[in-house]
Structure 1
C-alpha cells in the first residue's frame, strides 16, 4: 500500500464513493478507506436500498457520479426506474429501488476503474495535521499503517475524522431513532384482523412487552402492509464511537426480536418470518460539524441559493420522533430546490479537510432532509473536487475559486444550483407535490416502487 496520497477519503458510503471517484478522475492519488466489506453504506450494508431523490418537480436536479452508479446498477440488476415525471406522487414512490449486491459490485468497479486505491475492513485510528499535510494511522487486520495525505474527506457520517483531529462536533439533545431494515413474510394481510392486532399491540405497549416507538408509524396495519420494511424505530441509539455503535446494534436486534415474538402470538401471524434483514442498524443522526455556515430549516425549505452552493438537495423535512410520536413529514412548496454550500462542508478551523454526507453543518430539521442518499452523493462529488483541486494548486479548500470547482463538477456530469429552472405551476395542478403526507398516515419509506412505480 502506498504511504503518500493526495486525497484520503474515509467512509465508502453514499458520499464517500463519489468523493473518491471524483478525486481520482481529476488525477489525484486517492485512497478510499471503508470499515465494512462492501461500499454503499446505508444503501447496501444497512439495507435502505431505495436511494433518492434525484428529481424535483419532474426534473433531474442531482446527477453525476452517484446517479451514474445507481442507474447502472438498476440496468445490471434488470430493474426499472420510477416515472420521475409524476412529481405529484408521494416522495417514496420516486426513490430508486436497487439491488444492494449489484450496487456494491458496481461501486467496486467504478472506484477501482477511476484509479483510486480501495481498502476495506479498515478504519482511521489517528488523524493529525502538520506543515506537511495530514498524518493518518489506519487500523487494519495486520496492524497500524501510517499514511500521509494532502487533503482528507470525512464521509464517515459521524464526523469521526473531525473528532480525531480535535475539531468540535455538535449533536442535538434528542436524536432521531435508528432503524433496522427487515422484510417480513409468511402471512396474508387480507386474512388478518388488523384491528384486533392493533388492540393487542396497544395492550403490549401498556404491559411493556413492546416499546411505544417500535413500530415507526404507530399502526399495525401500515407495518404489516409494508412488511416491516423501514418501519421499525430503534430508540436511544447513539453513534460516533464503537461502544455506541455496539449498543445500537444490540438494541436493533432486541427490537426486532421483540416485534417478531409479538407478531407470532397473533392470529394469522403464527408463521411470520424474516425474509431479509440488514446486518447494520441504520443511524439517522449522530454528530455534525461546526461549519463556516449552518443550514437551517428556513434555508432549506425556502430553497435558498447560497453564494457558494455546489449541489442541490431534494427531500421533504423528515424528522423521526424518538418517543413513539411517529414521523413529521413536511413537503416542500412547489418549485423549491434547496442547495448545499461549500461553507457548510468545511469544519471551522480546519485545513484541507472536507466533510460530505449527513455530518455537514445544519440544524436537525434541515439535516433530516439533506441526509438522504442522492443529496449525499452530490455532496461527495463536490468534496472530491475540493480536495483534489486544493492539493493540486496548493490552496486551502475555502480559497479555491468557485468557478473552477463548478466547471470541474459540470465536466463530470453534475447538475449545479441554477442549471435547472423549474417552470411555473400549471393552473390545474396542486400547489404541493405528494412528497409525503401527515405522520399519522404515511412515512418517508413506504416501499411501493416495485409494484406501483417501477
Structure 2
C-alpha cells in the first residue's frame, strides 16, 4: 500500500534535484522531491560558485533554469552575474549561499512541488527493470512512494544502484576518490586586503548597487609565504597549499581550501569521520587566517553545515562520456545541454587541484544516453553520478552542468510519465525541442 504517489519522484534536493523538480512540475507532472538534509540547495548553499556558464572563449552555453536562478538572485542581492576572471576560466558566477537556499525553496513552492525533507531512500522495488516503488526513511518510520518515473539526483546514484544498476566508484584502476572538503565562511573581513595579500592573478571584480566601490568576488592563491607555520602546525598535508576565495559581499568571504583524503562518501561512518575532521581542520584554518593573513584579523568564522563530496559512484549508462569526448569538445546527436567548466581534479592523495581545459570550442555535449542506466526502464540519473570516466567526471560534477542536467532530466521524466514511455525509448527530438523552447542551449546539434 503506497502512502504517496506521483508522476515524477526526484531523489536529492541539491542543485540538480531543485532544477529537476522545478522542470518536471513546470511540465505538468505531479512531482515529489525528497532530500536527506533539512533544506534544499545542496552545495550552492555553502556559497560555492556556480561554475561555469561561459566557455574559455567567452561564449555562454548554460541558460534555462540555471540562468533564471542567477537573474533572480541578482534582484535579491545574492549574485553579481557572470564576472570575467581571466585565469583558469573565462568568468565566474558567485552566489550567496543562504539566498540560494531561499530561492531554491521558493522555486519549488511556486511550482507546487511536494518537498519531503529529512528523508532517505532505503530500498527500491523493481519488476523486470521497472522501479515500482521506493521505501523512504523519515521521522516516524518507513514511508512508501510510487511514481511513474524516477530521477536520481542523489549524487551517489543511490536509487539506481538500489534498483540494480552497475556502477564504478572512484578511479577505475585504483578505486581512489577525490577528497571531501568543507567551505569556511568568514564574516567581518576586509576582502580587498585579502586579495591584495594572497591573490596570484587579478581578482574578478564586480559592483553592487548598495556598495560604492568594485569588490573582489573571486580569486585564488597559495599559502606558500606561510609554509613554515603550516608545516609546524600541520594545518595542511602539503606545502604551497592552494586556496580559492569567492563572495558577493565586501565583508564576507568563502574559503575553499580544506581537504580530507581517503573518504568514501557512500559510507556513513567514513563521511561522519570526515565531517568531524573537517570541522576541526576548519577551526585550525580559521585561527591561522586570523593570526597571519591581513584582512581576516577582525573576522569571525563558521564552518559549512556539511562536508562537500566530489566523487563517489558513477552509473554504467547506455553511453559513457570518455576522456576524449572532453579533450576534443565532442558534440552528440542526443545532446541535452553543454558543459564548459574545465576538468577539475583534486588529487586523492594530496588534495591539490589540477585543471585540464576542454578542447575544440571549449564545451562538450551531455548525451542523453549517459543519464540512462543500463537495464532500467523508468529512471534517469542526473548530476555527478552520470555515466562518465573519472577524468570526464572532473567536469560534469560541477554545479552549472548539474543544473543543466537537472532541468533536462525533469523535462524528460515528465514527458515519459505523460506518454507512458520507457526512459531509453523517449523521443529525443521531442525532448530537445521542449528544452530549446525553455531556453536550454543545445549548441549546433550534429547528426551521427
> What is the TM-score normalised by the length of structure 2?
0.82
Residues 104, 202 of structure 1: alpha-carbon distance in 2 compared, 3 angstrom cutoff = same
Structure 1 residues 214 and 398, CA gap change in structure 2 (3 angstroms): farther
- Quote the residue 2:280 is aligned against: 254
Deviation at residue 275 of structure 1 after TM alignment: 3.0
Indicate the residue corresponding to 1:366 in structure 2. 392
1:176 corresponds to: 178
Residues 310-321 of structure 1 mapped to structure 2, 5 A cutoff: 310-321=336-347
In 2, Cα distance between the equivalents of 1:294 and 1:368?
Answer: 14
1:401 positional shift: 1.2
Structure 2, unaligned runs of 5 or more? 200-222, 245-251
SS in 1 for 2:150: strand
Residue in structure 2 matched with residue 301 of structure 1 by the alignment? 327
Q: Distance in 1 between matches of 2:229 and 2:63?
A: 48
Q: Is the Cα–Cα contact under 8 Å of residues 15 and 356 in structure 1 kept in the other structure?
A: yes
Contact 1:214 1:232 in 2 (8 A): no
> How has the CA–CA distance of structure 1 residues 267 and 174 changed in structure 2, closer, same or farther, with 3 Å as cutoff?
closer
Where do residues 285-434 of structure 1 align in structure 2 (5 Å cutoff)? 285-324=311-350, 326-333=352-359, 335-418=361-444
**Unpaired segments of 5 or more residues in structure 1?**
220-225, 421-454
Name 1:233's counterpart in structure 2. Answer: 259
Structure 1, residues 339-392: CA drift from partner, whole Å, max 9, x if none?
A: 111111111111211110011111121111121111111111111122111121
Give the match for residue 117 of structure 2.
Answer: 120
TM-score by length of 1: 0.81
Residues 214 and 324 in structure 1, CA contact (< 8 A), matched pair in contact too: no
Query: In the aligned structure 2, how far is the partner of 1:166 from the partner of 1:218?
Result: 39
**Could you tell me whether the CA contact under 8 Å between 1:74 and 1:81 is conserved in 2?**
yes
State the shift of 1:70 in Å. 2.6
Q: Alpha-carbon deviations, 1:50-105, whole Å to 9, x = none?
A: 1121122322211111221232112212642134xx5x712557221212222222
Secondary structure class of the residue paired with 1:312: strand
Give, in whole Å, the separation in 1 of the partners of 2:25 and 2:317. Answer: 26
1:295-318 CA deviation, whole Å, 9 max, x = no partner?
112101211112221111111121
Cα RMSD of the aligned pairs, angstroms, is: 3.1
| Match of residue 77 from structure 1 | 77
CA contact (8 A) 2:224 2:239 kept: no
User: How many residues in Structure 1 have an aligned counterpart in Structure 2?
Assistant: 407
TM-superposed CA distance for 1:231, in Å, is 1.9
Does the 8 Å contact 2:224/2:241 carry over to 1?
Answer: no
Instruction: Show the counterpart of 2:158.
Output: 160
> In the aligned structure 2, how far is the partner of 1:392 from the partner of 1:270?
54
Q: Does 1:209 align with 2:211?
A: no
- Give the Cα separation in 1 of the matches to 2:239 and 2:415: 46
